[in-house]
Amino acid sequence: MYIVHLDKPYTYDVLQEDLKNLCREYSFLESFSLGRSVCGRSLWALRWGTGEKRIFLNGAHHGMEWITSMLLMRIMEEFCRQYRDGTAIGNVQFQKLYESIHLVVCPMVNPDGVSLSVNGLASDLPPITKTRLKSYNGDSTDFSKWQANINGVDLNHNYDADFEKGVFHQHRLGIYSPGPTRYSGTAPESEPESRAIADFTRQFKPHLAVAYHTQGEVIYYDFNGMTTARGKEMAEAMAQISGYELDQTEGMASFSGYKDWVIQKMQIPAFTIEAGLGENPLPISQFDKIFFDNLPMLMYLVSA
């Protein structure tokens, strides 16, 4: 029996229930908030381990990619069980791991976008009106493909890494205003969600960061040739372990993303993992494969 729900779309309500139950079951697990979304939802994070090596994982920068929140929550549950039971995966002994790493996981960076993608206009939306959201969405009430936050800003285009170049490319694609995807906003960190994630990253000073997205079974590890030799080596190892492809972002995707900003500003290994394969939003039937592809990669990262 597992605590984390794997049987329905992973909304903010499911996340909050699972967080509460995980922390109740595992007293060594700490939950805290990194800030609040536009609609006032908490950007929950979990802390595991007392070690020196700081690792930050996050999921669901993009609304319809909520399966990455499910993935990170299920991974945290696995870490807690293994630690409590004194067990190991491969040669990684979890009681030793607990003392060697300081892991912080923010499973849902964009809770408003997830809610909108799953529940459409039935979501709780203040301060944004439904009329305005519909206009952001090309006058459609089908929000199932929504990626942005509730202001229509794509959070993974809202970081301070060649932001102006990203805006230039957007204009070439005809994107000038809020919408379901790819609008970067008026300035880096203009949105409370990206600001909170950037603030936490600056304060936490991780040795390693991973942003989970869907889909493509691809690992992105570089930004403008700035990745370290260590970052490249780790990406190659992960690709070998999982069968995921290695790639370098091109065009739009290669500006103002979270991993771009981390590589440029913090000079540490940072990755975007595009989990799963198919059409977003990925169906829950893919979850097991995603979990069993990604857990070994993470086991490598935490012990590398």
Can you give the binding site for Zn ion, defined by CB under 5 A? 62, 65, 213
Q: How far is the CB of 49 from Zn ion (least distance, A)?
A: 27
Cβ-contact 221, 153 below 8 angstroms: no
Q: How far is the CB of 102 from Zn ion (least distance, A)?
A: 26
Query: Smaller CB distance to Zn ion: residue 62 or 157?
Result: 62
Q: How far is the CB of 15 from Zn ion (least distance, A)?
A: 17
CA 114, chain centre distance (Å): 12
φ/ψ of residue 3, rounded to 5? -80, -45
Query: Smaller CB distance to Zn ion: residue 110 or 242?
Result: 110
Beta partners for residue 105, in sequence order: 46, 57
Closest to 258 measured CA to CA, from 219, 223, 294, 300: 223
Query: Smaller CB distance to Zn ion: residue 127 or 283?
Result: 283
Query: Smaller CB distance to Zn ion: residue 65 or 78?
Result: 65
Nearest residue to Zn ion, by Cβ distance, number only: 213
Cis peptide before 215 (omega within 30 of 0): yes
Q: How far is the CB of 65 from Zn ion (least distance, A)?
A: 5
What strand order describes the sheet that includes 101-106? 30-36, 42-48, 101-106, 53-59, 208-214, 270-275, 218-220, 245-247
Query: Smaller CB distance to Zn ion: residue 88 or 218?
Result: 218
Q: How far is the CB of 202 from Zn ion (least distance, A)?
A: 22
Cβ-contact 291, 74 below 8 angstroms: yes
Residue given tokens 């004194």 in the structure block: 86
Upper half-sphere CA count for residue 174 (Cβ side, 13 Å): 0
Closest to 235 measured CA to CA, from 207, 202, 272: 272
Query: Smaller CB distance to Zn ion: residue 48 or 136?
Result: 136
Q: How far is the CB of 237 from Zn ion (least distance, A)?
A: 23
